[in-house]
Amino acid sequence: MKKKTYKRYDHRLKLLVINSENLEVFKQMGIPKSTLSTWRISGVSEFITLEEFDLGKCELISEILELKSELELKDAELNVLKQSRKIFGILPNWKRFKNAEIKEKILNLYKSFESKINADSFCKLVDISTSRLKAWQNKFIKCDLSDQSSCPKTMPGKILTDDLKIMERFVTSIKYMHIPITNLAYKAMREGLLFFSPSTWHKYTKEFNWRRPKFRVHEKKQEIGYRATSVNESWHIDISIMKLLDGSKVYIQAIIDNFSRYIVAHQVFTEVSGENTKELLSKAIKNKKVNELISDGGVENINKNVQEFSIKNKITQIIAQIDIQQSNSMIEAFFRSLKNNYLYFKPINTLDKAQELVNFYVNEHNNSIPHAGIKYCIPAQIYNGANINEQHQKLKAIHHKKLKIELREIEILKHVSLARQWHKN
């Protein structure tokens, strides 16, 4: 038996039948009377359509032209945006993004518009290549393995978790604390446990922040160094080497007073000798009396000339870290400041030029630069008899006075501002 087929009618035709009073026209079209009656009784079932189907031809053409104009405007705005980014140097396609947050934000932006725009169009809009977008997507794929950054299924050559545990045991074990990591790698190879290069060991040690069980034992350091109680009680003497631009060397020798940090005497020469040290001491000791001379064990300090001079002038020679526990760091600190703050930034070609520059800095050190070791007082003031605490209190008083003046000015400005606001209101 042949299956009966039914005709399908447009929903708009059904609406016309329902709203029409004369059905003869529709009967002439071949629509059965029973079908027309059913439509009028039951009405039209729900259907999905577009409002544009109800528009006339002129209305459709007008809307198309309007949409075309808007599309051209959007294209022009997009081109302006792209050209301006090139002018300002904002070119993501050629820029490397080190921050993972930026990449993740771009991927989240793509996901939010993925249903409306394809990958190629999105990449053109943000000016990145599709290969870069795919690489970022692959990188941010979540993996359930907490101990590895990439999945072993996608990287078959990746180190296994069991191997990592063995490697960690070697690196963090107290038993092997005395063996360097490179040697540990070869030791594991010889024992047949792991077969990875030393660079791989170093890589995972750094990646997982494995700590070697090494804790350096330090001797107790002196909190306070060797300190004199008055001016010219103790002097420090030392030599520092300075290279000239032609590769030759000059030697800077200086004497500093322990109590005031004042440079008592200095000289620059090309040869180290006991005679030079004796001349510097003779220059420093004019009309002065010093009790102690602290130096290192260098040949320029421990020799017949210096010893005879010290005995004659009743100066006690003290060798740092031998006769006393403390070092000769006070004069060494001066040389460090002299070089790092000044000499290293000057072209020094000759001995005379070096002497000129050293003279300038010593004068600045003595007469202009506040020193932290004497509570930011000037060394020359303390050396000439000023009291450190009194000078420090004067400095604090000046600071507090200035601070009070500034606070008073701020209060006046506040009152003036409030008065103006009140006057306006």
As separate numbers, helices (DSSP H) first and strands (DSSP E) second, the chain gives 16, 5
Q: Pick from 333, 71, 99, 377: which is nearest to 226 by CA?
A: 333
Same domain (yes/no): 134, 71: no
Same domain (yes/no): 171, 299: no
Would you put residue 137 in left (φ > 0), alpha (ψ -120 to 50) or beta?
alpha
Asked whether residue 248 is assigned to any structural domain, the reply reads: yes
Same domain (yes/no): 62, 129: no
Asked whether residue 395 is assigned to any structural domain, the reply reads: no
Same domain (yes/no): 30, 113: no
Asked whether residue 214 is assigned to any structural domain, the reply reads: no
Question: How many angstroms separate the CA atoms of 384 and 382, rounded?
Answer: 5
Same domain (yes/no): 185, 308: no
Q: What is the pLDDT of residue 150?
A: 47
Range scoring the smallest mean pLDDT among 128-142, 183-197, 373-387: 128-142
- How many domains are contained in the chain? 5
On average, the pLDDT of the chain sits at: 84
User: Which is more confident, 135 or 146?
Assistant: 135
Asked whether residue 269 is assigned to any structural domain, the reply reads: yes
Asked whether residue 151 is assigned to any structural domain, the reply reads: no
Same domain (yes/no): 83, 128: no
Q: How distant is the alpha carbon of residue 228 from its chain centre? A: 43
Asked whether residue 364 is assigned to any structural domain, the reply reads: yes
Could you identify the residue written with the tokens 């490397």?
96
Length of the chain: 425
Same domain (yes/no): 45, 60: no
Confidence category of residue 425, pLDDT binned at 50, 70, 90 = low
Same domain (yes/no): 308, 366: yes
Confidence category of residue 422, pLDDT binned at 50, 70, 90 = confident
Same domain (yes/no): 78, 170: no
Same domain (yes/no): 178, 266: no
Q: Pick from 242, 171, 163, 222: which is nearest to 195 by CA?
A: 163
Asked whether residue 403 is assigned to any structural domain, the reply reads: no
On whether the pTM is more than 0.85, the answer is no
- Residue 299 sits in a domain whose CATH number is 3.30.420.10
pLDDT at residue 264 tops 90: yes
Confidence category of residue 35, pLDDT binned at 50, 70, 90 = confident
| Mean pLDDT of the region 267-288 | 90
Asked whether residue 82 is assigned to any structural domain, the reply reads: yes
Domain of residue 45 covers 11-49
Same domain (yes/no): 251, 379: yes
Question: How many angstroms separate the CA atoms of 18 and 177, rounded?
Answer: 95
Same domain (yes/no): 357, 250: yes
